[in-house]
Structure 1
Amino acid sequence: MKKAASIFLILITLLGCQTSKKATSNSSETEKKEKKPYEKIVSESTQTDEGLFKIHTNGEKIYYEIPDSLLYTDMLLISRISKIAPQFGGGYINAGSKTQEQLIQWQKHQNNILLRSISYNAIASDSLPIYKSVESNNYAPSLYSFKIAAYSPDSSALVIEVTDFFTKDIPAISGLSNEMRKEYKVNRLDSDRSFIQSAKSYPENIEVKHEMTYVADEPPVNQSSETISMVMSQSMVLLPKEPMQPRLHDERVGWFTVSQVDYSSEALKADRKTYIRRWRLEPKDPEAYARGELVEPIQPIVYYLDPATPIKWRKYFKQGIESWQECFETAGFKNAIIAKDPPTAEEDPDFSPEDVRYSIVRYVASTTRNAIGPSTSDPRSGEIIESDIIWYHNHLRSYRNRFMLETGAANPEARSLNTPEEQIGEMMRMVIAHEVGHALGLPHNMKASSAYPTDSLRSGSFTQKYGIATTIMDYARYNYVAQPGDENIRFIRQIGPYDHYAINWGYRVIPNADSPTEEKATLNSWIKEKEGDPKYLFGNGYGGFDPTSQTENIGDDAVKASSYGLSNLKIVSKNLINWTTREGEDYEDLQELYGELTSVWSRYIGHVARQIGGVTETLKTADQAGVVYKPVNKEQQKSAMTFMLNEAFSTPEWLINEDILRRIEPVGALERVRSLQARHLNTILSFEVLQRLSEAEAFMGSKTYTSLNMMDDLQNGVFLEIIRNQKIDPYRRDFQKAYVERLGYLLTKEQSSGNRHYSSATEVDADQSDIRSLARGKLVDLKRKLNKSNISDRMSSYHVQDLLARIDLILNPKG
């Protein structure tokens, strides 16, 4: 019996084990059945695109088949607006504008794949104890979670559906910022009108285009539709397995940058490391390169032209790209940058502008007047991976107009709307060169246009050799200084000595320097070699305080340059009707050109206005003598104020050309002139300028142009008729009202960030400064002079009475 019982127990145990194993096996099979088998997702009707990884399309559903080898691999996700409604973002956001750029990884978590946004802003060596803290305090957010739908037949890859990621309102890849959502009163994304247009896989990138339609109460255009639609382009780019050796940035040489905070530093704080953005150029023959020979790079920078580029412009596009060859030769490389026509289908059947292996100059059929030079770079090292220059079809219209307005007096080839093709081509060549400069890593250098002596710009031999600014990267488009009769003048900008200097500094390989730190001494020595030479200075123009770092100016003497410019503009104004009209056509072109002529006048005035209260900035390190910031000297500021009173604040009779105005408008001259004059008056009478003048006085006393000196000169000039008891014309009456209004603003209002160039430039506590005292004092002075005036002209007399009432209201608002 015991033996039988034992056998029974053994059988029961075995049966139990078999039942348990069978239950476990059934459970596992159930789990497998819960997931769609690979064959059901990838069937005969499925469209599959192979590349970085496979993309499967089943109707409206999109699947990614991601190899295990690409999990936890660094990639870059770039979000751009591909198509957009007119006037979106106030017209300052165009097709091609980048909205997001983030380093991402696909990471597996149980039955899901997480798309994480990885930050390299904070780093530390993984051998140090602080590494764990850096990881804990920089935890990567998950942008989205995808269910694993299947595994590949050999289990080397997993399949996820990504349809919802591109058709839902995901902030991380959206084209609408929070500010825009508020401005346009966006309610929601309409999923019925949002869909994926295309999804393509290339060897090193994935490209998805998806249309997003939002319901909005106040869209930028066609408000009755209550709709904003846009097409977003999402580029996911594989980053190099081994990051390029980065190069440390120095603010004395202008470069676009990436930054990291290094907690491995032995300093008593985290060490911010900033690296320049540049292409990976390595010499094929390092030994020959080290001997100073010109050597080809292993991988040159290659730009292809968009197939849509008009044939007649292609040579100018290619010339603009390859004009940087000479700068790279300065850095020791030959054939470093190459332009190519788009290949035919026979030459390269796989060619696509969306393929990250190809950098493209895109030609966009758009009325936008712009061109941009964006690039995509590795945030770990600053290496530029690819770049698409964008050229909008109508961009040259602005250049043609400016060519006439700024050079027409001295340049016969600019005196027609039918600008010769050779001149248009040269403009196009230089615009492309400018945008390629951005794509090579160079930002705007606004100080470069102040480096050359103003009168040298009237010399043919000088301008043909050196151009009109030291770099193509400034906004110095045309030579408006040259006068009628000056010979052999170069009127269009070109690559200059600073461009050679900057490319050499950023791209020259430094032999035997195996880390960014080992390069630093050599890089510093290159800067020190150019010390004291204005041709090699950098200034980004931020802050609005440095008159030597401005946009659209040329020459080292703003008063002289603007005087030359206005002299030319007066000649152009007299000829504008003849140069812009054709028999049988209306005055549309005349109206456009006259509007732009007033803008050119305003720019010339603005270049001088910046001298008043100006502070020059010369970037230096501690091993260089002298100060970084220096107020503009007293004589220059007084000269600038005299110019402003004569050219800006007096009635510009020549600008009010009745022959032109009565052809293009029934009314508008009074308000136009008032607006232009008030703009420059407000620049001078700003919290920031007055504070800088006061601080200069605190350091230098009467050796500088004080805020009281400035306001005395200004008020006496603005109210000259009151002093002389003369009739005041309508333009002056409007301007004098604007002056009183501005003093009221200074007396009663607070500094607004909207009125400042990059709001951190000059912070002012108006109540605790001299500004209120000055404003009040000048209003009291003016009231006294107005009360003593004795002008016989009735309208002028009424105007004086009105000014007195306005002043009383400002000084005594409660009566």
Structure 2
Amino acid sequence: MIKKLSVIGLVAVLSLGCQSQGQVAQTPQPSPPKKSNGDLKAYKDVITPAAKSDEGLFTTHFVGDKLYFEIPTNIFEKDMLLVSRIAKVPSGFGGGYVNAGSKVNEQVVRWTRRGNNVDMKIISFENQSDEGSPIYQSVTANNFFPILYSTKVVALNPDSNAVVVEVNSLYENDIEAINGISSSLKKRYKVKKLDQSRSYIESAHSFPKNIEVKHLMTYEAEEPPERGQAGTISLLMNQSMVLLPDDKMQPRLADDRVGWFTIKKYNYDSEELKADDYEIIRRWRLEPKDVEAYKRGELVEPVKPIVYYLDPATPEKWRPYFKQGIEDWNVAFEAAGFKNAIIAKDPPTKEEDPDFSPEDVRYSVVRYVASTTRNAVGPSVTDPRTGEIIGSSIIWYHNHLRSYRNRYMIEAGAQNPSARTLNTPEAEIGEMMRMVIAHEIGHALGLPHNMKASAAYPTDSLRSAEFTQKYGLTPSIMDYARVNYVAQPEDKNVRYIRMMGPYDLYSINWGYRYLPGANTPLAEKPTLDKWILEKAGDPVYEFGGGYDGVDPQSQRESLGDDQVKASEYGLANLKKVVPNLVAWTSKDGYNYDDLGEVYGELTNLWRGYITHVITNVGGVYETQKTADQDGAVYEAVPRQKQKEAVQFLNNHAFSTPNWLLDQDLLTRIEATGAIERVQSLQTRSLNSLLDEKRLKRMVSNEQVSGNKAYTAVEMMDDLRKGIFSELYAGRKADAYRRNLQRSYIDAATGYVQKLKETESDGILKSDIIALMRGEMERLKRDINQRGNYVNDVLTRYHWKDLVARIDSGLRVEL
């Protein structure tokens, strides 16, 4: 939701934004008087007949190994976006998440002339003020633009309307703002310096709106990513300088109730006794060819559609699925009044477009990266003045196929026979790839993750063929909901793979619908607010990023509105999968590496189901609202739901997972390690449940909700009775349970030990230490009373050891 803004101040900045987008910090200065040509060389002596020249936005000249820019004087003071990408990268660089096509920086620059010097300045549009406002002078003085690069004018062109500068030092020096190795990677690889003898400019091309330069950078490194790299790291960088439009797109104000990537601004003309901050959304410029037909409600093609090319490296058999994933978004754009708004194309041949390059920011490309990385990403390039997206490179890593192959077997193998193989049928793996591409395209259109979407659907609806085939697994493709793990073996014809949903259509309409009658961002706001209020209260149209770990309805990878029930369904399926993994993953003549890999991922998914449940304990539902909407934004999870969550944890997380300890499987993949694996999983879950912030929320909620709250004392009581059930039943505790019980005492007494820490003032003054002391004293008393009833020597020793641990943990000298 937009923060409270001074209407007068914001109108001044934003209406100016449609003309000059708050030319904040520095008014373009007139060029100083030129020095006499006697100070410069003759053009023909610099740009000799041997020059290899390329005309465009400004002409590039190669003369030997020197690169010259011939910059027209009318380009000075123009805003240009400098986009730095890696064009080629050594194997293993960056741990697998840096690859050919990775963007390392984008920044607005202006070329300016200073006598016989030409400077490239970095420009910011974050702080804004109307040029006619007195405070504009202060904004200018306190937002001085740094000079990224400076060089000498060596000649004027024959018409004296352009200057010639040599720019080798821009591309052959280690300039942090455009290089491909971050400071953290330099430390990791112990980079010494850039070796200029092995760094050079490879090519330069000029086009009507952009300049593309490729340059090779070679660094001396003591520990390069792979040993065979001879103590060096070489990267081929691509630098795109794109002229930003004088005719700026009208910005659209962001609203927290609808998820968008945004750009933050500060308005210093505010009358609110502070600098008001607001945000604008990132989106492509879509304007109807026929405005009158658009007004009548007809579907109209945009003046400039969004076009994505496939990488020439994309395997032929996957291209149809990639193109479908791109063009799936046309359904959403139709909801916004546009037809054929997004187009997928095969890569052009050399004959069709000899200048085509995936690194050229003019082309939006779905890159296919030969890498063992298991991921896909959807970055874009944005004009920071207005939020206009001007280009994008979707990245699909080849080994992401492996992720979905494994995931499909683990989460759908119990229910779907076609998932019981590592050679997933092409139609199904292709459908998964299609939806991954659609998800990443969504990011490139401006949409962030909406982890709250999946909670809009009743959990049991995901077992319905009719429901899932019509509505999918979640209202938004931007949720993390990859495979339907809720469906059970008896559920027939359900959909297992995510797809686009109603929230996607709603958000695209909200962000992209053209509003011809609204000539300023503030004029658009009443219509945009009206659309949100029309959907208020319907969970299908709610947004939540899911990154704070507080709202159980807004979690990555979860499905349905009831996390306890969904995790029970998912766990029931895992229990059916484990006994079959040997048969499903084995291949005659090969070892059990695939079995070990899938089994490891299965245990991680089990941990994920547990995490979904833990979040309910001390959880808080968040529903974004503005001041004109009734009801609270934050509401504690009901007491009974939290209590059910702890019961689930006692039954399924903290009990010994015998189903996971299949000896026929384990003896094929490891000599030992099962106990340590389970201990690690259970300890992490226990520590998460006893997290300080969670306990503080529970204490706080008790003060607000009184006897309606699930209190921290009640939770600890339920947890103790579950984790120490052997003590209260007089039974033997196995090795897994003994480990868990020790972890419980370590976690509880660890809080008491924080009394020694002077920097832990926040917890020292909370109720948590008192709570843990009380629980440990209660447990010690129960062990002393009941510990000798069990008919197992090692268990009795264990109880005595726990008493000693409690005594030690509670002994703190201040």
TM-score under structure 2 length normalisation: 0.92
User: 1:100 deviation in Å?
Assistant: 2.1
Query: 1:802 deviation in Å?
Result: 3.0
Q: Any idea what SS the aligned residue of 1:113 has?
A: strand
Partner secondary structure for residue 172 of structure 1? coil
Q: Describe the superposition over 1:109-160 as per-residue Cα deviations: whole angstroms up to 9, x where unpaired.
A: 1221111011100111112222222111111011111111222222221122
2:201 equivalent to 1:189: no
CA contact (8 A) 2:101 2:358 kept: no
Residues 1:798 and 2:803 aligned together? no
C-alpha spacing 1:193/1:748, structure 2 compared with 1 (3 Å): farther
Residues 114 and 146 of structure 1 are in contact (CA less than 8 Å); yes or no, is this contact kept in structure 2? yes
| 1:648 to 1:225, Cα distance in 2 relative to 1, 3 A | farther
1:492-541 per-position Cα deviation (integer Å, ceiling 9, x unaligned): 00000000000000111123111100010000000001011000000011
Residue number in structure 1 paired with 2:774: 777
- In structure 2, the partner of 1:755 is none
1:284-295 paired onto structure 2 within 5 Å: 284-295=289-300
Q: What is the alpha-carbon distance in structure 2 between the residues aligned to residue 217 and residue 436 of structure 1?
A: 39
- Give the CA deviation at 1:261: 1.1
1:652 aligns with 2:652: no
**Alignment correspondent of 2:17:** none
Equivalent in the alignment of 1:619: 624
Pick one of 212, 236, 242 that aligns with 2:217. Answer: 212
CA contact (8 A) 1:687 1:751 kept: no
Pairwise CA distance, 1:94 = 4.7
Give 3-state SS (helix, strand or coil) of 2:177's partner: helix
Amino acid at match of 2:806: I
Work out the CA distance in 1 between the residues paired with 2:659 and 2:251: 56
For 1:783, the aligned partner's letter is K
Pick which of 321-330 and 188-197 moved more.
Answer: 188-197
Give secondary structure in 1 for the equivalent of 2:751.
helix
Aligned equivalent of 1:807: 806
| Preserved contact between residue 82 and residue 107 of structure 2 (Cα < 8 Å) | yes
Q: Which residue of 2 aligns with 1:337?
A: 342
- The superposition leaves residues 758-792 of structure 1 with CA deviations (integer Å, 9 ceiling, x where unpaired) of xxxxx991111111111222222222233331144
Cα contact 1:747–1:772 (8 A) shared by 2: yes
CA deviations 1:414-436 (Å, max 9, x no partner) are 11111111111111111111111
Match of residue 356, structure 1, among 325, 346, 361:
361
Q: Which of 122, 125, 128 does residue 127 from structure 2 map onto?
A: 122
Q: What letter matches 2:416 in structure 1?
A: N
One-letter code aligned to 2:792: D
- C-alpha change, 1:292 and 1:527, in structure 2 (3 Å) is same
Aligned partners of 1:361, 1:602: CA distance in 2, in Å?
33
Q: SS at 1:255's partner residue?
A: coil
Would you say how many aligned residue pairs link Structure 1 and Structure 2?
778
1:487 is paired with a residue of what secondary structure?
Answer: coil
Q: Which amino acid aligns with 1:810?
A: G
**Distance in 2 (alpha carbons) for counterparts of 1:511 and 1:751:** 65
What residue number does 1:9 align with? none
Secondary structure of the 1:114 match is strand
Q: CA deviation at 1:197?
A: 3.6
Q: Give the distance between the partners of 1:650 and 1:93, measured in 2 at CA.
A: 41
Name the aligned partner's letter for residue 802 of structure 1.
D
How far is the alpha carbon of 1:586 from its aligned partner? 1.2
Change (3 A) 1:335 1:496: same
Aligned position for 1:427 = 432
Question: Structure 2 residue aligned with 1:537, among 502, 527, 542?
Answer: 542
Counterpart CA distance in 1 for 2:73 and 2:745 is 72
CA, structure 1 residues 803+183, in 2 after alignment: closer, same or farther (shift >3 Å)? farther
Give the stretch that moved more between structures: 773-782 or 561-570. 773-782
Deviations 1:294-351 (A, max 9, x none): 1111111111111111111111111111111111111111111111112222333333
Identity of aligned residues (%): 58
Match of 1:470 in 2: 475
- C-alpha separation between the residues in 1 aligned to 2:246 and 2:146? 23
Distance in 2, Cα, partners of 1:201 & 1:478: 46
Instruction: Please state how far the C-alpha of 1:710 moved relative to its aligned partner.
Output: 1.0
- Inter-partner Cα distance in structure 2 for 1:190 and 1:643: 60
Letter in 2 for 1:137: N
Give the AA of the match of 2:252.
R
* CA–CA distance in structure 1, aligned partners of residues 679 and 286 of structure 2: 54
Contact 1:217 / 1:223 at 8 angstroms: preserved in 2?
Answer: no
Q: How does 1:665-680 map to 2 (within 5 A)?
A: 665-680=670-685
1:609-639 per-residue CA deviation (whole Å, 9 max, x = no partner) reads 1111110100000111100001101000000
Report 1:90-489 matches (<5 A).
Answer: 91-216=96-221, 221-222=226-227, 227-489=232-494
Shift of 1:225: 6.0
Choose the corresponding residue for 2:584, options 569, 572, 579.
Answer: 579
CA root-mean-square deviation: 2.4
Structure 1, unaligned runs of 5 or more: 1-27, 753-762
CA-CA distance at 1:439 after TM superposition: 0.8
Equivalent-residue separation in structure 1 for 2:78 and 2:803 (angstroms): 73
Pick one of 742, 746, 749 that aligns with 1:744: 749
Compared CA separation, residues 424 and 669, structure 1 to 2 (3 A): same
Aligned CA distance change for structure 1 residues 197 and 644 (closer, same or farther; 3 Å): farther
Write the mapping of 1:691-702 to structure 2, written as runs, cut at 5 A. Answer: 691-702=696-707
Q: Distance in 2 between matches of 1:609 and 1:493?
A: 25
1:682 pairs, out of 687, 691, 701, with: 687
SS of the equivalent of 1:200 reads strand
2:499 aligned counterpart, secondary structure: coil
- Whole-Å separation in 2 of the counterparts to 1:750 and 1:80: 50
Q: 1:616 is paired with a residue of what secondary structure?
A: strand
Distance 1:437 1:750, change over 3 A: farther
Amino acid at match of 2:238: S
- In the TM superposition, what are the counterparts of 1:561-640 in structure 2 within 5 Å? 561-640=566-645
Write the letter of the residue equivalent to 1:795. Answer: L
1:62-95: CA deviations, max 9, x gaps? 2222111111100111223444456655555554
Query: 1: distance between equivalents of 2:291 and 2:96?
Result: 48
Q: Rg larger in 1 or in 2?
A: 1
Maintained 8 Å contact 1:645/1:718: yes
Distance 2:46 2:527 in 1: 58
Q: In the alignment, is the contact (CA less than 8 A) between 1:244 and 1:280 conserved in 2?
A: yes
Aligned AA (1:426): E
The one-letter code of the counterpart of 2:349 is T
Aligned partner of 1:781: which letter?
Answer: R
Partner residue in 2 for 1:25: none
Q: Is the 8 A contact 2:201 2:216 kept in 1?
A: yes
Deviates more, 1:219-228 or 1:771-780: 219-228
Q: What does residue 712 of structure 2 align with?
A: 707
For 2:15, the equivalent position in structure 1 comes to: none
1:58 is matched with which residue? 63
Cα 1:504–1:582 shift into 2, 3 Å: same
- Pick closer, same or farther for the CA change 1:518–1:676 going to 2, 3 Å: same
When residues 230 and 778 of structure 1 are mapped into structure 2, their CA distance, relative to the original with a 3 A threshold, is farther
Partner of 1:767: 764
Contact kept, 8 Å, 1:53 with 1:64, in 2: the verdict is yes
User: What residue in structure 2 maps to residue 724 of structure 1?
Assistant: 729
> CA separation in 2, counterparts of 1:249 and 1:200?
37
1:397-444 CA deviation, whole Å, 9 max, x = no partner?
Answer: 101111111111111111111111111111111111111111111110
2:552 partner letter? P
1:58 Cα shift? Answer: 3.3
Cα distance change of structure 1 residues 549 and 85 upon mapping to structure 2, 3 Å threshold:
farther
Report the CA distance shift for 1:738/1:96 in structure 2 as closer, same or farther (over 3 A): farther
The aligned amino acid for 2:115 is Q
Query: Is the Cα contact below 8 Å between 1:686 and 1:746 reproduced in 2?
Result: no
Please give the alpha-carbon distance, in whole angstroms, between the structure 1 residues aligned to 2:549 and 2:441: 26
Deviation at 1:359, TM superposition (A): 1.3
Looking at structure 2, the residues matched to 330 and 662 of structure 1 have their Cα atoms a distance apart, in angstroms, of 55
Cα gap change, 1:354/1:90 in structure 2, threshold over 3 Å: closer, same or farther? closer
Using a 3 Å threshold, how does the CA distance of structure 1 residues 112 and 611 change in structure 2: closer, same or farther?
A: same
**1:751 touches 1:764 (CA, 8 Å); kept in 2?**
no
